[in-house]
Amino acid sequence: MAGSSTDYIKHHLTNLTYGELPAGYERADGTVMTESSWTLAQTTAEAADMGFWAVHVDSLFWSIGLGALIMFLFWRAAKKAATGVPSGFQNFVEIIIEFVDNTVKESFHGRNPIVAPLALTIFTWVFMMNAMDLIPVDVIPALFGLGYDLAGLDPHHAYMKVVPSTDPNITMGMSLTVFALMIFYSIKVKGFGGFIGELTLHPFNVKNPFVQALFIPVNFFLEIVGLVAKPISLALRLFGNMYAGEMIFILIALMFPAGLLMASLAGVLQLGWAIFHILVITLQAFIFMMLTIVYLSMAHEDH
């Protein structure tokens, strides 16, 4: 039971990975690669051996697909917008836009027409990716495994993670985009000299130029650590919370085959955790959006 439970957890936490395996590599099914080629990983070990340039196909598929769905829904709402009594969906979209717009007005102290649309995109996109965690953990992987079986492939190799925000590559990619915008607007608003001065003349600032010169390396080290920590913490906060939530759903799912009593208890626990998790996925989307607004506001502050 312990072995099967471990395999079950590993299977659900493994991404559908596409990468390159070198010539001479022995695969899980016993075949040996005659030449280096790109293929889908059959095991977690193969996914790890594919290295840095491997692609998580499932994370990209679901994140891009959900992004396209959001754009379609907002486009549809804008197309059907009317000056009279709004429909339920139009009213819902307007509430979200007004909420994000008010949040930006309260937290962003510069003037930049990109910040509000960016905040809206981040909030809705992260929320949709997080919300995939509410789908029972076995539903989509089982359907994907059935497709493997119908295609004559081994369903045990059918990995499918449907929550993109549990993949650090996705959360880090989003945070690095925010980080790049921070650096860009810091240099644009303050100038390159002002940006460097902000890194070297704070937090220790004295009037004596000789003493200030001694503080420059210390200031630079402290400011660089704080600057680099922002995208890392932004990415890992979202990833950690969503990964933990997914793990709890998987552990609860392990209780269903353990008899009627345990299955009944698992159903109650799953429902309770799903209800609580609605707050978690909304809060994490809001935090990611809020920190993005605050970081960009700091980039626009010209001391």
pLDDT at residue 258, as a whole number: 82
Catalytic site residue 241?
Answer: yes
pLDDT at residue 229, as a whole number: 94
pLDDT at residue 6, as a whole number: 85
pLDDT at residue 85, as a whole number: 67
pLDDT at residue 80, as a whole number: 81
Q: In which element (H, E) is residue 37 found?
A: strand 37-40
Catalytic residue among 169, 241, 264, 297: 241
Catalytic site residue 237?
Answer: yes
| Helices within 81-208 (DSSP H only) | 88-107, 115-131, 139-150, 168-200
Catalytic site residue 233?
Answer: yes
Catalytic residue among 112, 169, 237, 297: 237
- Tens digit of pLDDT at every position of the chain (303 positions): 445 888 888 888 899 999 999 988 988 778 888 899 999 988 888 888 998 899 999 999 999 999 999 999 999 988 887 776 667 888 889 899 999 999 999 999 888 999 999 999 999 999 999 999 999 888 998 888 888 888 777 777 788 999 999 999 999 999 999 999 999 999 999 899 989 988 888 888 888 888 888 888 898 999 999 999 999 999 999 999 999 999 999 999 988 888 888 889 989 999 999 999 999 999 999 999 999 999 999 998 875
pLDDT at residue 198, as a whole number: 87
The residue whose two tokens read 């810091």 is 186
Sequence ranges of the domains in the chain: 58-137+163-300
Give CA 36 to chain center in angstroms.
Answer: 31
C-alpha to C-alpha distance for 56 and 60, rounded to whole angstroms: 6
Catalytic residue among 4, 91, 205, 233: 233
